[in-house]
Structure 1
Amino acid sequence: MKTTHRDNWRVVISINPQYTHVRISALGFTGLDSDLDGTLAGTPFELTVVPRRLGDFGGVSMGDQLVSNDVDGDYRRRCEQMLAAYLREPHVRSGRVEVDEEHRCSHCDMRWEELTAAEAADDSTNIDAHSSEGEPVCCDKAIDEFRAERGIPMPNWAGGAA
């Protein structure tokens, strides 16, 4: 059936300099130029911070799956810890953890799509009279599994009379 893949974990923080007059050096921009020693003022802006890979140990690097039995959980915890640390800073007003999610079929690895209610009611977009909302559209195996779980009659894949 449907599998979920998560990638590109990140922490997004909102900095509101108009209230705090944050020193630029507080954001980590130090020693680049004497002009960067000023203060930030103006409208709020967002900053995105990407965590270090789980398998990055400085001089040694390996795949995340080799160092974690729960890659998604470990990234989520790492990002939540980062966010908690940022939220303690006076110039950070809010933040959130974001991740890209992609749903794929476990049988054919195609992007997961399902029939909408309108598509299921439209004879031109469904397989047979038993097509229903939520039915996958990627492959025969996914459709068969969906219907078997719900007690819906199987499609006639052979093409003969049903």
Structure 2
Amino acid sequence: MKKTILTNWRVVIAIRPSYTHVKISALGFTGLDSDLDGTLTGPDVELSVAPRPLGDLGYASMSDRLISDDVDGDYRRRCEAMLAALLREPHVRSGRVEVDEESWCSHCDNRWEEMTADEAADLSTQFDANSFEGEPVCCREAIVEARTARGIPAPAYMGGAS
């Protein structure tokens, strides 16, 4: 069975630098003479904004799992609220919520990989004539489980019907 872990929640926004008339000193380039502190210009710039961890209480911090029964849902809601607030700013052109997904096999703990349509159609890479797009390729247990769920027999060399 496929286990998916969501990590690195973030809000990505595009801002119009020329609209903001922000000085480069606002980016942390301090100590410049006033003549060297120019205004930002150019095409839209994308910035990523990471939400504060759920377990960061300000005065103490703890595991997100101790704070929430729905960590992914809480991060999604926190990021969506951040995005809504940021989109109200006139210089924010667009935005989106992003998250990284990592998938693992619950049987062998290897990274989850699936057979592509080309691999399923290619005699040199398919397990047998019943191979299908999306079939796991990591271990026997995952293959048998996926095929059983679809009513397909396991490959003969794995103890299935020939």
CA–CA distance in structure 2, aligned partners of residues 41 and 148 of structure 1: 58
CA–CA distance in structure 1, aligned partners of residues 24 and 160 of structure 2: 72
- Change beyond 3 A, Cα 1:84–1:38: farther
CA–CA distance in structure 2, aligned partners of residues 160 and 39 of structure 1: 69
How far 1:159 sits from its partner (Å)?
A: 7.3
- Change beyond 3 A, Cα 1:38–1:143: same
Secondary structure, counterpart of 1:146 in structure 2 = helix
CA–CA distance in structure 1, aligned partners of residues 144 and 117 of structure 2: 19
CA–CA distance in structure 2, aligned partners of residues 8 and 24 of structure 1: 28
Secondary structure, counterpart of 1:11 in structure 2 = strand
1:73 maps to what in 2? Answer: 73
CA–CA distance in structure 1, aligned partners of residues 126 and 38 of structure 2: 63
1:132 maps to what in 2? Answer: 132
When normalised by structure 1's length, the TM-score is 0.83
When normalised by structure 2's length, the TM-score is 0.83
Q: Does 1:10 align with 2:7?
A: no
Any stretches of 5+ residues in structure 1 without a counterpart?
Answer: none
Matched-pair contact (CA < 8 Å) for 1:3–1:105: yes
How far 1:53 sits from its partner (Å)?
A: 0.8
- Change beyond 3 A, Cα 1:161–1:31: closer
How far 1:77 sits from its partner (Å)?
A: 0.8
CA–CA distance in structure 2, aligned partners of residues 38 and 31 of structure 1: 11
Any stretches of 5+ residues in structure 2 without a counterpart?
Answer: none
What letter corresponds to residue 59 of structure 2 in structure 1?
A: G
CA–CA distance in structure 2, aligned partners of residues 114 and 21 of structure 1: 49
Moved more, 73-82 or 40-49: 40-49
Q: Does 1:102 align with 2:137?
A: no
Matched-pair contact (CA < 8 Å) for 1:30–1:37: no
- Change beyond 3 A, Cα 1:159–1:70: closer
Secondary structure, counterpart of 1:47 in structure 2 = strand
Matches within 5 A, 1:2-81: 2-22=2-22, 32-33=30-31, 35=34, 39-81=39-81
What letter corresponds to residue 73 of structure 1 in structure 2?
A: G
Deviation per CA, 1:107-155, whole angstroms, max 9, x where unpaired?
2222222122322232321222322222110111111111111111122
What letter corresponds to residue 16 of structure 2 in structure 1?
A: N
Q: For this pair of structures, how many residues does the alignment match?
A: 160
Secondary structure, counterpart of 1:130 in structure 2 = coil
- Change beyond 3 A, Cα 1:72–1:2: same
Taking only aligned residues, the RMSD between alpha carbons, in angstroms, comes to 2.7
CA–CA distance in structure 2, aligned partners of residues 73 and 156 of structure 1: 42
